[in-house]
């Protein structure tokens, strides 16, 4: 089986967009590949170093969501990045051979530095973000990395760093990882923009039934439908984008007809969506509660995952040191 690896930064609570975009895809991959999934807590530190305690809380919450959403520790290796210090050690070695210019050219580097103004990102660690990410991937010699399109430049850089190592020390030592792109539907937030924690428009996996109902009930709709008697266009309505993800074909047809003829109101249309979103989240909520009630379950899962990951990572690191003659 080919090896797949991916991680998510614990930089905030997980929302519906992350679930549809990343996690559901990972869950499907579990049966086809040998999977490694982890919480990238060190990566969250590159921007969140001012509040490490918060990152720790998000880390536990993210791990809980991994399991609650359906990642299966019997199938996949699930762990917390910083529990495997081998990532950090490989990162040091890779940082020696990575030209500064490659890092400065990464588009997300400049973009994020411009976007995030409340933190000083003129740091060594933030520039080195993709080097650490490369270490994460190649320490397991992962073949595929399921990521969103925004991560393509990072992955391209990982390939270049792997290639450079191979060129300098040993041919084909590190395989060049490939992105595993999956088309996923766009997930709008309650204000119609892309769902994101920084926009304050997200529905979180940790929200309860009342909050979910409230958030969807007040969600923006087609602006042309101000009154119940106004006709609408689902193509212009973010609520309908969510129906595309959660509702049945029949419901979507019914809503399209109802909306364009004003025979269904937005409140009833949203009720159908609320029902589906809650149906999707309910098993996750139940599993979360189970994990909260039994903290040792999560500890055991993290412990087992670390053990499995550490074995593979340790072997690669040892071989890498042999290759560069770094044995004392
Ligand atoms: N950069 C990824 C993100 O922002 C997180 C990440 C860290 C990652 N290391 C990785 C993803 C290795 C894939 C592979 O979500
Ligand atoms: Fe949107 Fe539904 Fe209202 Fe049409 S009826 S505008 S699809 S919320």
CATH number at residue 217: 1.10.240.10
Q: Are residues 267 and 128 in the same domain?
A: no
The verdict on residue 99 lying in a domain is yes
Q: Which strand (E) or helix (H) includes residue 309? A: helix 295-323
The response to whether residue 159 sits with its C-beta less than 6 Å from ligand 2 reads no
Q: Are residues 174 and 62 in the same domain?
A: yes
Q: Are residues 248 and 307 in the same domain?
A: no
- Pocket residues: Cβ below 6 A from ligand 1: 5-9, 40, 43, 133, 136-137, 145, 147, 151
The verdict on residue 249 lying in a domain is yes
Spatial separation of the C-alpha atoms in residues 135 and 158, rounded to whole Å: 8
CA of 205 to the centre of ligand 2 (A): 24
pLDDT in tens, 167-188: 999 999 999 999 999 888 889 9
The response to whether residue 219 sits with its C-beta less than 6 Å from ligand 2 reads no
Q: Is 197 a catalytic residue?
A: yes
Q: Are residues 121 and 230 in the same domain?
A: no
Q: Please tell me which residue in 56, 186, 197, 236 is annotated as part of the active site.
A: 197
Q: Please tell me which residue in 75, 113, 194, 252 is annotated as part of the active site.
A: 194
Residue 287's nearest CA partner among 64, 1, 50 is: 64
Number of CB atoms found within 10 A of residue 172's CB: 8
| Atom 3 of ligand 2, residue of closest alpha carbon | 266
Query: Which atom number of ligand 2 is nearest to the Cα of residue 222?
Result: 6
Q: Where are the alpha helices (DSSP H) in 30-75?
A: 41-48, 52-69
Q: Are residues 32 and 112 in the same domain?
A: yes
Sheet holding 3-8: strands in order across?
77-80, 34-39, 3-8, 144-146, 178-180
Q: Is 112 a catalytic residue?
A: yes
- Confidence band for 198, pLDDT divided at 50, 70 and 90: confident
Residue 274 has pLDDT above 90, yes or no: yes
Among 106-115, 162-171, 251-260, 272-281, the least confident range: 106-115
Q: Are residues 131 and 278 in the same domain?
A: no
Best of 239, 241, 244, 272 for a ligand 2 pocket test (most atoms within 8 Å of beta carbon): 239
The whole-number pLDDT of residue 276 equals: 98
The verdict on residue 116 lying in a domain is yes
- Per the listing, tokens 């969506």 go with 273
The response to whether residue 20 sits with its C-beta less than 6 Å from ligand 2 reads no
Q: Are residues 45 and 62 in the same domain?
A: yes
The response to whether residue 272 sits with its C-beta less than 6 Å from ligand 2 reads no
Residue 53 has pLDDT above 90, yes or no: yes
CA of 218 to the centre of ligand 2 (A): 12
- Confidence band for 247, pLDDT divided at 50, 70 and 90: very high
Q: Are residues 302 and 230 in the same domain?
A: no
The whole-number pLDDT of residue 326 equals: 96
Among 57-66, 142-151, 316-325, the least confident range: 142-151
Among 31-35, 131-135, 194-198, 317-321, the least confident range: 194-198
Query: Which atom number of ligand 2 is nearest to the Cα of residue 270?
Result: 8
The response to whether residue 221 sits with its C-beta less than 6 Å from ligand 2 reads yes
Best of 39, 43, 178 for a ligand 1 pocket test (most atoms within 8 Å of beta carbon): 43
pLDDT in tens, 295-314: 999 999 999 999 999 999 99
The verdict on residue 303 lying in a domain is yes
pTM score: 0.95
Q: Which domain holds residue 243?
A: 207-288
Residue 275 has pLDDT above 90, yes or no: yes
The verdict on residue 196 lying in a domain is no
Phi, psi at residue 77, to the nearest 5°?
A: -90, 115
The verdict on residue 229 lying in a domain is yes
Report the percent of the chain where pLDDT is more than 70. Answer: 100
The whole-number pLDDT of residue 183 equals: 80
The verdict on residue 202 lying in a domain is no
Interval 248-255 mean pLDDT: 98
Q: Are residues 266 and 312 in the same domain?
A: no
pLDDT in tens, 59-84: 999 999 999 999 999 999 999 999 99
Residue 161 has pLDDT above 90, yes or no: yes
Best of 256, 262, 269 for a ligand 2 pocket test (most atoms within 8 Å of beta carbon): 269
The verdict on residue 267 lying in a domain is yes
Interval 4-29 mean pLDDT: 96
237: left (phi over 0), alpha (psi -120 to 50) or beta: beta
Q: Are residues 142 and 8 in the same domain?
A: yes
The whole-number pLDDT of residue 265 equals: 97
**3-class secondary-structure state, position 244:** helix
Q: Are residues 28 and 46 in the same domain?
A: yes
> How far is residue 35 from each of residues 4, 69, 83, 188, 267, measured CA to CA in Å?
5, 16, 18, 29, 42
- Beta-strand (E) ranges in 81-232? 144-146, 178-180
The whole-number pLDDT of residue 227 equals: 95
pLDDT in tens, 216-241: 999 999 999 999 999 999 999 999 99
Pairing mode, if any, of strands 34-39 and 77-80?
Answer: parallel
Q: Are residues 256 and 159 in the same domain?
A: no
The whole-number pLDDT of residue 182 equals: 80
CATH classification of the domain holding 174: 3.40.50.620
Number of CB atoms found within 10 A of residue 325's CB: 7
Q: Is 310 a catalytic residue?
A: no
- Confidence band for 116, pLDDT divided at 50, 70 and 90: confident
The whole-number pLDDT of residue 133 equals: 98
Query: Which atom number of ligand 2 is nearest to the Cα of residue 225?
Result: 6
Total tally of structural domains belonging to the chain: 2
| Atom 4 of ligand 2, residue of closest alpha carbon | 259
The whole-number pLDDT of residue 27 equals: 97
The whole-number pLDDT of residue 237 equals: 98
| Atom 7 of ligand 2, residue of closest alpha carbon | 234
């Amino acid at each position: 089986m080919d090896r797949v690896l991916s991680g998510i930064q614990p930089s905030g609570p997980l929302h519906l967009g992350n679930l549809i975009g990343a996690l559901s895809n990972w869950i499907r991959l579990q049966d086809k590949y040998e999977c490694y999934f982890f919480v990238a807590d060190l990566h969250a530190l590159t921007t969140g170093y001012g509040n490490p305690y918060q990152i720790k809380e998000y880390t536990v919450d993210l791990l809980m969501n991994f399991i609650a959403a359906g990642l299966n520790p019997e199938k996949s290796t699930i762990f917390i990045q910083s529990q495997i210090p081998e990532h950090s050690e490989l990162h040091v070695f890779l940082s020696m051979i990575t030209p500064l210019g490659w890092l400065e050219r990464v588009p997300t580097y400049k973009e994020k530095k411009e976007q995030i103004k409340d933190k000083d990102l003129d740091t060594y660690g933030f520039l080195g973000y993709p080097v650490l990410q490369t270490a994460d991937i190649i320490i397991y010699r992962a073949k595929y990395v399921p990521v969103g399109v925004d991560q393509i430049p990072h992955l391209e850089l990982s390939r270049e760093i792997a290639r450079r190592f191979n060129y300098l020390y040993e041919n084909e030592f590190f395989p060049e990882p490939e992105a595993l792109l999956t088309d996923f539907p766009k997930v709008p937030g309650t204000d119609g923009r892309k769902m994101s924690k920084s926009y304050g428009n997200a529905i979180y996996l940790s929200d309860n039934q009342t909050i979910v109902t409230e958030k969807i009930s007040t969600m923006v709709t087609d602006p042309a439908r101000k009154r119940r008697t106004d006709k609408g266009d689902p193509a212009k309505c973010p609520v309908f984008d969510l129906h595309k993800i959660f509702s049945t074909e029949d419901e979507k047809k019914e809503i399209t007809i109802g909306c364009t003829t004003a025979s269904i109101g937005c409140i009833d249309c949203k009720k159908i969506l609320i029902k589906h979103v809650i149906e999707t989240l309910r098993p996750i909520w139940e599993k979360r509660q189970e994990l909260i009630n039994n903290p040792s379950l999560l500890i055991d899962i993290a412990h087992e995952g670390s053990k499995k990951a550490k074995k593979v990572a340790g072997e690669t690191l040892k071989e890498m040191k042999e290759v560069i003659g770094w044995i004392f």
